Amino acid sequence: MPRGSSRVKLIQNYVDGNFVSGKSRFADVNPATGVVIAEVAEADKEQVDQAVQSARKALRGDWGRKSVSERAAHLHRVADAIEKRFDCFVAAEVADTGKPIALASRLDVPRAAANFRVFANLLQASGLESFQTETPDGKGALNYAVRKPLGVVGIITPWNLPLLLLTWKVAPALACGNSVVVKPSEETPATATLLAEVMQEAGIPDGAYNVVHGFGPNSAGEFLTQHPNVNAVTFTGESATGAAIMRTVAASVKPVSFELGGKNAAIVFEDCDFEEAVRGISEAVFLNTGQVCLCAERVYVQQNIFDRFVEALKREAESLRLGAPMESTTQLGPLISSQHRDKVLSYYRLAREEGAITVSGGGVPEFGTEFDHGFYVQPTIYTGLAETARCVKEEIFGPVCHVAPFASEEEAVAMANDTKYGLAASIWTSNLKRGHRVAQQMNVGITWVNCWFLRDLRTPFGGVGLSGIGREGGMHSLNFYSELNNICIRL
């Protein structure tokens, strides 16, 4: 791996309001070039313990004493500070992930600020149920609930939308009065530490937000989930990691919220708006180089339009501009790491072994520049696989889909639902009755009709089966990040 300057910057942990180094370090690599851009301070067990202790102290101290409106004001200040440092966040996210600057500017960073604003507003607007309850003696009782923080929340996040997914959990957790210890992905550590600077600027009290860097097993991730003073764990990542975390937290019966993997289907009916569906599916397959948990890897197209659709999707795929993440016109960046590229390329090989017809891509692009050292793969479309093929069943998490024909609505629903995952689906039809009917049969957490990746942040988000446990979003987040204390007063 080519190395960058020998004086690369150090990305530190953030514990009790201080930026601290670790006893060991690991490299942060720019996936577009393979160059080491920073060193990351790895938190050892003792530092994770210090972070948890500081979070606990914050609950008893300044942060724990804040009123709802004070907490909401702090969250708005965090959002303001993110917006003030917009370019800085975009640059850090692009360097860590290799995603195109246009995408980070349109999606990742604005959503981070929006996450803080949405939960600040929601917290202030939300009440809880209260009932005048009848009693046999006629005097009655007043029964109501109050919201209390869970305590210290451990937050573990992946690399695909690092800041967006981190703040999606940090914002509601802080809104509810918890303190947090976050463990960002080892692949994308920069924006969590940058957010710590913003927390300081916004006056978030020391200990309310802590960052520990490191890996999963036998490193910061596991030290955090097994810590006895962590009261709840919220995790986004692979289903197998969710299972491992579940085993770790089982002994202490901590509440968990898991947003896990997917093998999402898109169903394209012959009555769809053809151009809109082609553009929509292309985005659903290739956005962020296919590294969004909601991306469609299985596309089912009604027989009559199958050939025309595959041809049009091929044209879309081949028109995508791959390359320099900092170019404003770039549409596809690299995969996150050489290991992940090996994994995706192993699926490209497997697809051919399983009998796939390669419609487009299937290999590695050549640039003749520094990007040849990056972890790029071609956007890829297959047809011809059996529904039982591993490439149709397993999450690949790259810019790739398999397109298969279907004859009837029933067949399409059966094929789409034939998976252990259940995160998302999209349906493309101009018949809205059909849209509703099919959407209600999807065994997933979210179904889109004639769109993809569009969601009001106040609505529930999560998956069924291997795709997760619980729902976050709007009140669902506030409910996960709080204990509801039911109080009944005899009048």
Catalytic residue set:
259, 293
Q: Read out DSSP for 435-471? A: HHHHHTT--SSEEEES-SS---TTS-B--SGGGEES-
Closer residue to ligand NAD (CB): 236 or 289:
236
Q: Which of the stretches 76-84, 231-239, 382-390, 406-414 binds ligand NAD when contact is defined by CB under 6 A?
A: 231-239
Q: In the numeric block, which tokens belong to residue 123?
A: 């917290």
Q: Which residue reads 């197209």 in tokens?
A: 301
Closer residue to ligand NAD (CB): 145 or 464:
464
Q: What does the per-residue mask of binding to ligand NAD show for 176-195, with x meaning CB under 6 A?
A: -------x-xx---------
Strand partners of residue 298: 265, 402
Q: In the complex, what is the shortest distance from the CB of residue 473 to ligand NAD, in angstroms, rounded to a whole number? A: 10
Among 460, 459, 485, which residue's Cα sits nearest to residue 150? 485
Closer residue to ligand NAD (CB): 123 or 166:
166
Cβ atoms of 223 and 216 closer than 8 Å: no
**What is the gyration radius of the CA atoms in the chain, in angstroms?**
23
Binding residues for ligand NAD, total number by CB under 6 A: 31
Among 269, 306, 275, 286, which residue's Cα sits nearest to residue 432? 269
The answer to whether residue 225 forms part of the interface with ligand NAD (CB under 6 A) is: yes
Contact positions with ligand NAD (CB under 6 A) in 138-167: 156-160, 165
Interface residue with ligand NAD among 237, 323, 333, 362 (CB under 6 A) is 237
Q: How far is CA 51 from CA 44, 57, 222, 314, in A?
A: 11, 10, 14, 50
How far is residue 118's CA from residue 111's CA, in Å, rounded to a whole number? 10
Q: Provide the 10 A C-beta neighbour count for residue 189.
A: 28
Q: In the complex, what is the shortest distance from the CB of residue 69 to ligand NAD, in angstroms, rounded to a whole number? A: 30
422 contacts: CB under 8 Å, gap ≥ 6: 262, 443, 444, 445, 463, 464, 465, 466, 467
Closer residue to ligand NAD (CB): 299 or 301:
299
Q: In the complex, what is the shortest distance from the CB of residue 266 to ligand NAD, in angstroms, rounded to a whole number? A: 16
How far is residue 72's CA from residue 268's CA, in Å, rounded to a whole number? 43
Q: In the complex, what is the shortest distance from the CB of residue 221 to ligand NAD, in angstroms, rounded to a whole number? A: 3
Q: In the numeric block, which tokens belong to residue 104?
A: 């980070």
| Closest residue to ligand NAD: CB criterion | 216
Closer residue to ligand NAD (CB): 71 or 183:
183
Q: In the complex, what is the shortest distance from the CB of residue 328 to ligand NAD, in angstroms, rounded to a whole number? A: 25
Contact positions with ligand NAD (CB under 6 A) in 252-311: 259-262, 293
Closer residue to ligand NAD (CB): 14 or 269:
14
Q: In the complex, what is the shortest distance from the CB of residue 103 to ligand NAD, in angstroms, rounded to a whole number? A: 15
The answer to whether residue 93 forms part of the interface with ligand NAD (CB under 6 A) is: no
The answer to whether residue 241 forms part of the interface with ligand NAD (CB under 6 A) is: yes
Kind and range of the H or E run holding 143:
strand 141-149
Burial of 48-65, coded b for 16+ CB within 10 Å and e otherwise, reads bbbbbbbbbbbbeeebbe
Strand partners of residue 254: none
Q: What does the per-residue mask of binding to ligand NAD show for 386-425, with x meaning CB under 6 A?
A: ---------x-x-------------------------x--
The answer to whether residue 480 forms part of the interface with ligand NAD (CB under 6 A) is: no
Closer residue to ligand NAD (CB): 54 or 225:
225
Q: Provide the 10 A C-beta neighbour count for residue 467.
A: 27
Q: In the complex, what is the shortest distance from the CB of residue 298 to ligand NAD, in angstroms, rounded to a whole number? A: 14
Closer residue to ligand NAD (CB): 184 or 205:
184
Q: Read out DSSP for 42-78? A: EP-HHHHHHHHHHHHHHHHSTTTT--HHHHHHHHHHH
Residue type, 63: W
Strand partners of residue 302: 406
The answer to whether residue 217 forms part of the interface with ligand NAD (CB under 6 A) is: yes
Q: Which of the stretches 86-94, 138-146, 212-220, 373-381 binds ligand NAD when contact is defined by CB under 6 A?
A: 212-220
Q: In the complex, what is the shortest distance from the CB of residue 157 to ligand NAD, in angstroms, rounded to a whole number? A: 6
Q: What does the per-residue mask of binding to ligand NAD show for 49-78, with x meaning CB under 6 A?
A: ------------------------------
Q: Which of the stretches 62-70, 102-110, 236-244, 271-279 binds ligand NAD when contact is defined by CB under 6 A?
A: 236-244
Interface residue with ligand NAD among 221, 290, 362, 435 (CB under 6 A) is 221
Cβ atoms of 152 and 181 closer than 8 Å: yes
Interaction site with ligand NAD (CB under 6 A): 156-160, 165, 183, 185-186, 215-217, 221-222, 225, 236-238, 241, 244-245, 259-262, 293, 395, 397, 423, 463, 468
